[in-house]
Structure 1
């Protein structure tokens, strides 16, 4: 079973309702707009970051139009600096390829090496869209269901001003 097939089965098992939108490959919501692809719900981006020493990892979810202030975020997290983690670490920890970063991959982070940060401006009552391990589909789910899924993975969520 592929990770994509697995996530549909897991969401169904958990009773998480999703709206599926298939589209041509996109790496970002900006690229989707350029291609004329309209994605419903609150559009977010997922940043996979590491600390300066490369020992701690963060999945940061924020509104697509917001530019993350990595310096400020590092200070809030008590880190000396943050940068993007390697593609190899992304695949190792979340079992996802670059361009399809998704919080669904946290199910594979069994050692809880990745901390989850959600920007405080993502509305609590929003529908949010994520790739199901492939960048040719977007699944919209309720924010509350995202939190339920993350709780199932054992990951705590911190809401911060990114």
Structure 2
């Protein structure tokens, strides 16, 4: 599924320079980084959050985990939660994993982590599992005017590395001596 014409028109109308990156089908920011051979810090991960009765698009580097406590304070919300998958399909008209960070299109607020806001260029999802957008972060900030805050926490290297294959459990093996069980030594076979 290609990038939505609505998104490309939105970028063109606002004179935002971008590059469309075609790649194999990916469903996560981690897989996108591996596929494109890019650092996780160059990939934007977009999440949908419900704060009280409003929805927000949250944009963090791929190697960050969202801190809901920090976000709750920033948004001054009483209740905050990651939106359910059916909400993404119903409200944002996209499948989970294909959400875009363009709040102006979806008419919702955007919050971006300061770490991502400091990068030069970023690769972000654009409603497609086979194409992504590569653009200058300053252009995204100008277009979306998001709230910038420290809302994420960097994964430790153990968390973002590939899981180690499971090893078979060692079993205790009992070795029985052949023979009749009477204590006599077994006969040797020739």
Q: TM-score scaled by structure 2?
A: 0.67
What corresponds to 2:126 in structure 1? Answer: 132
What corresponds to 1:153 in structure 2? Answer: none
Considering Cα pairs closer than 8 Å and 6+ residues apart, tell me whether 1 or 2 has the greater RCO: 1
CA–CA separation in structure 1 for the residues paired with 2:60 and 2:119: 15
Trace 1:87-126 onto structure 2 (pairs within 5 A): 87-104=85-102, 106-109=104-107, 114-126=108-120
Inter-CA distance 11–39: structure 2 relative to 1 (3 Å threshold): farther
What corresponds to 1:48 in structure 2? Answer: 48
CA–CA separation in structure 2 for the residues paired with 1:19 and 1:90: 25
Aligned-pair CA distance for 1:67: 1.2
Q: Secondary structure at the match of 2:64?
A: coil
Please tell me whether Structure 1 or Structure 2 has the larger radius of gyration of its CA atoms. 2
8 Å CA contact retained: 2:33, 2:43: no
Asked if 1:149 is matched to 2:148, the reply is no
What corresponds to 1:159 in structure 2? Answer: 148
Q: TM-score scaled by structure 1?
A: 0.78
What corresponds to 2:27 in structure 1? Answer: 27
8 Å CA contact retained: 1:94, 1:105: no
Query: 4+ runs of 1 displaced by more than 6 Å?
Result: none
What corresponds to 1:68 in structure 2? Answer: 66
Asked if 1:37 is matched to 2:36, the reply is yes
8 Å CA contact retained: 2:44, 2:125: no
CA offsets per residue over residues 83-105 of structure 1, 9 Å max, x none? 11123332343332211111236
**Structure 2: gaps spanning 5 or more residues:** 152-190
What corresponds to 1:81 in structure 2? Answer: 79
Question: What RMSD, in angstroms, separates the aligned Cα atoms of the two structures?
Answer: 2.4
Task: Tell me the matched-pair count.
Answer: 149
Inter-CA distance 39–95: structure 2 relative to 1 (3 Å threshold): farther
8 Å CA contact retained: 1:49, 1:58: yes
**Structure 1: gaps spanning 5 or more residues:** 151-155
CA–CA separation in structure 2 for the residues paired with 1:146 and 1:132: 13
